[in-house]
Amino acid sequence: MMCSSFRLKSGSDDLDATRDMLMGRASTSSSPMDRLATQNLAGEVPSSLLSLSQPLVTVSTDHKFTEGPIYLHMNNELHFSDIVCDTRSILSLATWTVTSSTPNNRGNGMTLAPSGSLVVCEHTTSSLILEDKNPPTVLASHFQGKELNSPNDVVVHKTLNRAYFSDPTYGRMPGFGIERDAPLGFQGVFSVALDNPGTVRLECEKEKYGQPNGVCFSPDGKQLYVNDSPNASIDVYDVNETTGALNNCKRFFSEIGSGKFEDGIVDGMKCDEQGNVWVTGPGGIWIIGSDGVLRGKLDIPEHVGNLAWGGPEMNLLFICASTSVYMLQTEVHGECTNEMIKRVEPCPLCRKLILGFDCGKWQSSISEHGLWPTSLKNLRELASGEGFNEYFQKQFNGNEEAYLRWKEVFDVLEVENARDVCPDLPLEQ
């Protein structure tokens, strides 16, 4: 199998149908589901979380080992990596095309900083980086003078402005990185302040884990889940709201398979908005309630390495599984990783307006200026009649430049197109 650039079939009909599907409208053309490879779902999952009548869609394939999915709302894109091929790929949800670039320092887990910049785990450099400039900022590369193993998965606590990451030795093994010794001598879970690079703090006992792997926060950010691949288990920690220190570790779930790679292991995991933990495991994905009770299992045709929610409603689950990336629609929503657009008071109509699928001027202006409302609640307030001046004075604290640039975005929004997206939006003519 060759490592190359990947492209999905797409066309105007596909794009129109995809817009219809994502915006909840009756399709006026054939669905993209008809043009992308699909298969029936199998497993035992509560219907409140997922309907097994939904198809499992192959959105990209012919990779070697897909990992690290992260959805970027601003560009309506899914970013993911192929560790073996040393590539970063971008799936556009507007055109359903995939473009890839290399090298990628065998990047693995990714998440978003509050600024919107990507935080990336790199196997080759044994570093955690912030892609805020070129070259990027190195957040973590050493602990107590010794090089980290190979940062694997990462999450950012938006209130504390800290990144928490696992550091197993997988990136020092052939295929997944560069084969070399591991001078650190243990595999741990660490954190680092985004505004103070290099201040790496160990968050667990040195001998706690065999190979710590997936990490994720509870929806309220008060707990951090950490899994251990060879021990086939998940622990949960309380997060100190002042210092960010992890404490009060408890075993959350055990015996997720044998811990052997060939059987399928615990790896990537995410919490949905209800607090259920969706984690990779034997057969595909295991779903565990916040009470530690198994709620269901979802069968996936390849070993799953990671998963992430995306799409306008954050109800499209993207699954990185060995050679492919799959997608399915869930009944439950994932947690937004970017605090700026986190759903405060869910309003599907306004979410569709923000994405601007049917207004090219609106969409291009957003991309050009790199602007986004601070929350959907704020946009609802604006849409329901609050004046521009009051809105921007409140949100930008007198920042005239931000006000003028944001207002320009609204000025180019054509009223008729806006109402196509959001018919109830009370815009003045």
Burial of 36 (C-beta count, 10 Å sphere; 0-12/13-18/19+): buried
Residue 306 backbone dihedrals phi, psi, to 5 degrees: -165, 170
Neighbours of 389 (CB within 10 A): 10
Beta bridge partners of 328: 317
Q: Which residue of the set 167, 235, 267, 358 is catalytic?
A: 267
Is residue 255 a known part of a binding site? no
Omega within 30 of 0 (cis) for the link into 103: yes
CA-CA distance, 372 to 81, in Å (whole number)?
26
* 3-state SS assignment for residue 190: strand
Find where tokens 């986004």 sit.
Answer: 372
DSSP letter at 335 equals P
Query: Which residue type is seen at 387?
Result: G
CA-CA distance, 298 to 356, in Å (whole number)?
33
CA-CA distance, 339 to 134, in Å (whole number)?
24
Task: Characterize the bridge pairing of strands 137-140 and 127-130.
Answer: antiparallel
DSSP element (H, E) containing 349: helix 348-355
Neighbours of 397 (CB within 10 A): 9
* Residue 332 near residue 352, CB atoms below 8 Å: no
CA-CA distance, 238 to 229, in Å (whole number)?
21
Is residue 213 a known part of a binding site? yes
267 is catalytic: yes
* Residue 232 near residue 263, CB atoms below 8 Å: no
Find where tokens 């946009």 sit.
Answer: 379
* 3-state SS assignment for residue 252: strand
* Residue 316 near residue 78, CB atoms below 8 Å: no
Q: What is the dihedral of CA 365, 339, 202, 286, to 10 degrees?
A: -100
Neighbouring C-alpha atoms within 13 Å toward the C-beta of 360 = 0
Q: What is the dihedral of CA 55, 328, 218, 131, to 10 degrees?
A: 160
- Positions at the binding site: 67, 152, 213, 267
Active site residues per annotation: 267
Q: Which residues are part of a known binding site for a divalent metal cation?
A: 67, 213, 267
Residues in the annotated binding site for substrate: 152
